[in-house]
Amino acid sequence: MLLCKHRGRGMFELTGKTAIITGASRGIGKGIALKFASLGANVAFMHFNDGEKAEETVKELEALGVRAKAYDCNVADFEASKKVIDEVIEEFGEVHILVNNAGIVRDGLILSMKESDFDAVISVNLKGAFNMTKNIYPHFMKKRRGRIINISSIVGINGNAGQANYASAKAGMIGLTKSVAKELGSRNVTANAIAPGFIKTDMTDGMPEKAREAALAAIPMKRAGQVDDIANLAAFLASDEASYITGEVIRVDGGMAI
Ligand code: NAI
């Protein structure tokens, strides 16, 4: 495996590449954006109504010497996501990497889960990933290269009581990933899913104390993951070194789903 020579940070090289990342104003998406930028990639990212944090992220990315731009855009809106992708291609030139990371939770047992809670989570987490994939698809086909990295979850593999909407969306993302891998493999486009376990972010900080304790107790490594644990794998999957890996679902969970 080649180590990064240009930046000398001992990892993979993404210099000259441009990535679109959804949901990178904070959390895992931001961690991926910073990792990509530290490896030389320009980053365009989307967030939803999180302008202040998005601006901070843009500044942190630019401080790493790359181009960065934030777009306030609901990924569940097909036309709006198309508009952003078209703008990014226009402004940045070729896009090489798409990371579908934006996600929300509306937890509850099915008995009490509102239909609107099911629909909202499917719309953002699954339909959002479809919207982005569909809208970047012609560009990747034309360029005959591209990387799609979908941030799924171990609950998309195992299911989870209280998360029927979220687990369905995350399982759907795995089906989407494998279908895209089959459709676009001949065009030199790879699609892979990362299935994080319990990662410390605003999303998990918002969980009830008891649920957080139970999640931590279920992790063989006895600690929550950090955003960098996910970002390191995303950087590898985006790099030239991962060019023959497609249709994979890789858990990053400290053993939680074993
Ligand atoms: P977070 O809540 O800290 O950040 C979510 C990001 O998505 C924010 O930038 C937000 O603006 C953006 N976003 C939300 N709705 C959006 C929409 N409709 N359109 C565009 N952007 C939108 O979440 P976190 O923890 O960083 O999670 C990121 C991804 O990782 C999510 O897909 C989540 O399901 C997944 N994940 C997280 C785990 C964890 O333990 N934190 C575990 C497994 C998966």
Question: Using an 8 Å Cβ cutoff, are 251 and 195 in contact?
Answer: yes
Name the residue of 85, 149, 203 whose CB sits within 8 Å of the most ligand 1 atoms, as the mutation to test its pocket: 203
Please report, for residues 27, 129, 140, 213, 215, the alpha-carbon distance to residue 198 in angstroms, rounded to integers and kept in the order given: 12, 21, 32, 11, 7
Report field, pTM of the whole predicted structure over 0.95: yes
Query: How far, in Å, CA of 26 to CA of 107, rounded?
Result: 21
pLDDT in tens, the chain (258 residues): 444 445 555 668 999 999 999 999 999 999 999 999 999 999 999 999 999 999 999 999 999 999 999 999 999 999 999 999 999 999 999 999 999 999 999 999 999 999 999 999 999 999 999 999 999 999 999 999 999 999 999 999 999 999 999 999 999 999 999 999 999 999 999 999 999 999 999 999 988 899 899 999 999 999 999 999 999 999 999 999 999 999 999 999 999 999
- Chain centroid to CA 209: 26
Q: Tell me what pLDDT residue 3 has.
A: 43
Distance 29 CA to ligand 1 centre (A): 7
Spatial distance between the Cα atoms of 74 and 206, rounded to a whole number of angstroms: 21
- Which of 101, 119, 160, 176 has the most ligand 1 atoms within 8 A of CB, as the residue to mutate? 101
State the Cα torsion 32-98-130-162 to the nearest 10°: -10
Quick one: pLDDT at residue 12?
85
Q: What is the predicted pLDDT for the residue at 16?
A: 96
Ligand 1 pocket, Cβ-based, cut-off 6 angstroms: 22-29, 46-48, 50, 74-76, 101-104, 124-125, 151, 153, 196, 198-199, 201-204
